[in-house]
């Protein structure tokens, strides 16, 4: 496959067989690959926005059948709409080989669901993609490439950045959380209790104060009526 031509402003002009479906916070973007080999959807967004996912995908399909759904990985914002998409369009689902066992067993810790305070609807899959597998979709042949974890030179900085992103996600999902409930929430949600708090060497109440202060200062959250709520309309 040759590189796509550059579009004005430095963007890449995609061929007509590749449809990019942009989403907002909580949802991974989708890509619809169309062509003689059939239609393939990449990722499905978060579970609470499944109806929007179905509408966007149906619009992009424009009456064509959806043969296959492929997940890049098993995080909630990538697999949350799988079950709804499969019910609506009757497609098969293929997941990365390295996460297949966790998905089959619905291991919510390994999939970072309740362990990270997130949700997804359980689904069944039809096959796996292994590193190096090649498949035809959207008039092209594609190859699955394994993600490589980056080396983290500063664990504390990484833990803080991850905590900010995950808590912002939680606020977008729930809209608001009682300020007084946050220490218990952080102490009982595995991602924070097992990873973030030890890395930062903070007690849950001190971490809650620091995190809320940071997000408020950044304009990502506000405190109102003793609740912390998102400032986003997503």
Tokens read off for 142:
């594609």
3-state secondary structure of 190: helix
| Half-sphere exposure at residue 47, Cβ-oriented, CA atoms within 13 angstroms | 14
**pLDDT above 60 (res 27):** yes
- Residue 160's pLDDT band, with cuts at 50, 70 and 90, is very high
pLDDT in tens, 88-144: 999 999 999 999 999 999 999 889 898 888 999 999 999 999 989 998 887 788 999
Each residue's pLDDT tens digit, 171-228 = 988 889 999 999 999 999 999 999 999 999 999 999 999 999 999 999 989 999 999 9
DSSP assignment of 86-109: HHHH--EEEEEHHHHHHHHHT-TT
- Separation CA 3–CA 210 (nearest Å): 45
Structure tokens at 26: 């909580």
> In whole angstroms, what is the distance from residue 229 CA to residue 45 CA?
22
Mean pLDDT rounded to a whole number for the chain: 88
């Amino acid at each position: 496959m040759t590189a796509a031509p550059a579009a004005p402003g430095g963007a890449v002009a995609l061929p007509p067989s590749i449809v990019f479906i942009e989403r907002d916070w909580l949802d991974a973007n989708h890509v619809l690959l169309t062509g003689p080999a059939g239609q393939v959807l990449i990722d499905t967004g978060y579970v609470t926005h499944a109806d929007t996912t179905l509408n966007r995908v149906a619009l992009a399909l424009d009456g064509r059948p959806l043969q296959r759904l492929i997940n890049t990985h098993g995080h909630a914002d990538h697999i949350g709409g799988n079950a709804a998409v499969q019910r609506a369009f009757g497609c098969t689902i293929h997941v990365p080989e390295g996460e297949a066992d966790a998905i089959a067993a619905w291991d919510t810790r390994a999939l970072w669901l309740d362990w990270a305070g997130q949700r997804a609807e359980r689904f069944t899959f039809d096959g796996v993609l292994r590193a190096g597998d090649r498949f035809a979709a959207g008039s092209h042949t594609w190859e699955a490439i394994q993600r490589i974890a980056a080396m983290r030179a500063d664990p504390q900085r990484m833990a803080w950045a991850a905590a900010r992103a995950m808590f912002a996600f939680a606020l977008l999902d729930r809209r608001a959380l009682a300020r007084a409930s946050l220490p218990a929430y952080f102490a009982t949600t595995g991602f924070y209790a097992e990873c973030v708090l030890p890395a930062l060497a903070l007690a849950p109440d001190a971490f809650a104060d620091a995190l809320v202060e940071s997000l408020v200062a950044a304009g990502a959250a506000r405190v109102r009526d003793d609740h912390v709520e998102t400032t986003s309309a997503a």
